[in-house]
Structure 1
Amino acid sequence: MSATDQLWLPGNRCAALTAPAVDRVYRAAAAAAAAASTELQQRYGGPAAVGFLVDLRTRLAAPGGLVDAAGFAAVTRYHDPASCQRVLDKQVAYGMVVRHPDGTLRATERGAAFLTDLYALHAEVTARVWGAEHASRLARLVELTGRLLAAACTGQAAVDLAGAGPGGDAAEEVGAFGAVAPPYEPEGTPVGVLLLNRLGVLRYHRADAHAAAWTAAGHTARSIVDLPPGPARLAIEQETDRRAAGPYEGLDPEQRVMLLADLAALPG
């Protein structure tokens, strides 16, 4: 394949096209999982008890998995910090999470048990939502998203987070992606769970790129939400695509097209 052939879908364009496809597929599966999790959540104390465990599952489910204060702030950058800490207070009170003096979070034994059960539930839900007819497609997507994640975890393809802290402060260089990646994938993890979690983690990679882009344009987490469509918004989206392009540069042209086609074919 010639260099000319590769230019028709460069990394930044692939990142732009992939983002809404990933959002559509992930949100549909996550919504189905949330609807199916009511009984599981009640067994552990209800929504107040499980709180951010679901969002941080890809790291806190790992033995000894930790999410530090900067990573948590990046994951929740669009939410009120005081409100987030109150949610964590409840999880700590329910014995699901330990919050260390420096703000680092880890799951308790009970919290880890919930996450083990959650992974099992997600296996059932994704098997139902995506179905056996998509088996070969899921296998390809797991391979391709694995390549993207491996690239995103390297320095060359990582998002430049300078100045992309919550609220527009410089410093939070761990980013949301760094807080949840690499996803915990114990041996035998079903393909549906692998894909669900990998898509979720990849969304945080783009979220960091977006935060870096709006920060560079002088916005905060509050102001970017209120920014209407127009030239300024378009420029930020294009800069987001540029910053998010790194992992996609490692895919060959056929793989980029296959990624988009397989995501488009999944229900959601």
Structure 2
Amino acid sequence: MSDTVGLPPHRHAALVAPAVDRVFIAAMQAGRDGGGAELSQRYGGPSATGLLVELRTRLAVPGGTVDGPGFTAVTRYRDPVACRRTVDRHVAYGMLHRASDGALTATERGLAFLAELYQVHAEVTEELWAGHDERVLRLAAMTGRLLAAAFTGEPIGEGVPDDPAEAGGSAFTALAPPHEPDGTPAGVLLLNRLGALRYHRADAHAAAWAAAGHTPRTIAELPDGPQRRAIEAETDRRAAGPYATLTAPERLDLLADLAALPG
């Protein structure tokens, strides 16, 4: 099967995005329902833990830091004032340390929460994807290849006159590669690698709408139509790089395996 006749990378990028979203969102919801909410309450509730969950793949590394531009990229569609207040609350609860330049690091208490969160995600993904062990292993390996390719490929913002998301930096490089300590179960590897791929596409989307002259506010308000569709097509093109490292049959296998996972 050739890429021209089969499934070229940019077309695959469009098809795989909702499949990645479905599997990732289902697993994260299972985490909340399967112990994550109770864990959060023990540490002070969402006001104390919400950002740690979101930034877990970098902050779970002892000393791991999300810098100011990276945090801006991750939260590019949110009110900056509200984001600063959220960070203030996390700092007040003793979960985050904020440096003078805005960089965020988990405290000892934050690291303890994240270690427990990883365990919750291990348990819920094992249950959610029970009976799909070989499929999860295949997907974890393939998404690992895709992340490696994303780091060595052409920057998705290349050719954009200004930084894609209004000087927001890259959400992907802020949170990837995911923290994967020895012994991390395949389900957690897959969950966090899918999350990283979502951020890779998010950066591609930001680069596409920035190149079209939009801001986070105007792209959110842009209705469906030719311009929106052109931006989505450009997003697919920018997000396609890692998928070009797979053969066309491998791209089909990736879609089939994602579709077969419960959630």
Per the TM superposition, whether the score is higher than 0.5 is: yes
Match of 2:228 in 1: 233
**Displacement of 1:164 after TM fit?**
4.0
What is the letter of the counterpart of residue 54 of structure 2?
A: D
User: Is structure 2 residue 90 aligned with structure 1 residue 91?
Assistant: yes
Matches within 5 A, 1:2-151: 5-7=2-4, 8-36=6-34, 37-131=36-130, 133-151=131-149
Aligned 8 A contact 2:157 2:164 in 1: no
- 2:151 aligned residue (136, 150, 153): 153
What is the letter of the counterpart of residue 109 of structure 2?
A: R
- How big is each residue's C-alpha offset from its partner over 1:72-127, in whole Å with a ceiling of 9 and x where there is no partner? 00000000000001000000001000000000000000000000000000001111
State the alpha-carbon separation in 2 of the partners of residues 157 and 11 from structure 1.
Answer: 14
Matched residue of 1:102: which SS?
A: coil
Aligned 8 A contact 1:61 1:115 in 2: yes
Aligned 8 A contact 1:151 1:157 in 2: no
User: Is structure 2 residue 256 aligned with structure 1 residue 258?
Assistant: no
Aligned 8 A contact 1:142 1:191 in 2: yes
Match of 1:214 in 2: 209
Residues 1:102 and 1:165: Cα distance change in structure 2 (over 3 Å): farther
**Displacement of 1:253 after TM fit?**
1.5
- How big is each residue's C-alpha offset from its partner over 1:34-80, in whole Å with a ceiling of 9 and x where there is no partner? 22312101111111111200010000001211000000000000000
Matched residue of 1:137: which SS?
A: helix
- 2:183 aligned residue (188, 198, 202): 188
**Displacement of 1:158 after TM fit?**
3.4
Aligned 8 A contact 1:51 1:88 in 2: no
State the alpha-carbon separation in 2 of the partners of residues 165 and 209 from structure 1.
Answer: 8
State the alpha-carbon separation in 1 of the partners of residues 20 and 94 from structure 2.
Answer: 34
Unpaired stretches in structure 1, ≥5 consecutive residues: none
State the alpha-carbon separation in 2 of the partners of residues 210 and 48 from structure 1.
Answer: 29
Match of 1:201 in 2: 196
The alignment covers a number of residue pairs equal to: 259
Percent sequence identity over matched residues? 62
- Give the CA RMSD over aligned residues: 1.2
Matched residue of 2:105: which SS?
A: strand
Aligned 8 A contact 1:67 1:179 in 2: yes
State the alpha-carbon separation in 1 of the partners of residues 145 and 256 from structure 2.
Answer: 17
